[in-house]
Amino acid sequence: MAFDSTNTLAKSALGIDNMAWSGTNVNGLFKEIDMKISRSTGYAVLAVGYIAQHKDKGVVLSQDVAKAFEIPLEYLLKILQQLVRANILHSKRGPRGGFSLAKPVNKITLLEIIEAVDGPFTSQFSLAVQGKGSKLGAQADKVYQRAIEQARAVFAKSTIGELLGSRK
């Protein structure tokens, strides 16, 4: 997949496949935590950003988004429908149809997009149960939960408007 390195939104999309928090070392339990953000979520961020950048057109065609980022159209349409269900986008059917933002860019957070596409951003890490009550497992769960809470806070504060440099 090719992305223009000068594209502000593409650079801000947190990496299409993953984001890594390097150097994390809490009580010697972890040296690195890799947090996976799905390809679908990356595409969703790019699509919402593209629609925001072209909102003066009224509605944006899904084909235009697919072409801009080389995303398979059928795959993109499924993602766009998830964003419509989450009230991030509106869709309009018909010959003059397309997609538009359901709310201002400064009200659309990365957390909303992530959760619209991938479901709740929560901890499913349970070493305490797997480790049969071991202290190590319980401590590891606490560290992971703190990491999830911090990531949620960052994503909840980050808006498409900020990524685009918009104050509107």
The pLDDT of residue 143 is above 80? yes
DSSP three-state, residue 11:
helix
Domain ranges of the chain: 10-164
Q: How far apart are CA 78 and CA 15, in angstroms?
A: 20
Q: Mark out the alpha helices in the chain (DSSP H runs).
A: 8-12, 39-53, 62-69, 73-85, 110-118, 127-130, 135-157, 160-164
Burial class of residue 94 in the structure, from the number of CB atoms within 10 Å of its CB (0-12 exposed, 13-18 middle, 19+ buried) = exposed
Q: What pTM was estimated for this model as a whole?
A: 0.74
Q: Are strands 98-101 and 32-36 parallel, antiparallel or unpaired?
A: unpaired
State yes or no: pLDDT of 141 exceeds 90.
Answer: no
Q: Tell me, which fold does domain 10-164 have in CATH?
A: Arc Repressor Mutant, subunit A (1.10.10)
pLDDT tens, 18-69? 333 333 344 444 334 445 678 999 999 999 999 999 998 889 999 999 999 9
Convert the pLDDT of each residue in 76-134 to its tens digit: 999 999 999 999 999 999 888 899 999 999 999 999 999 999 988 776 667 666 666 67
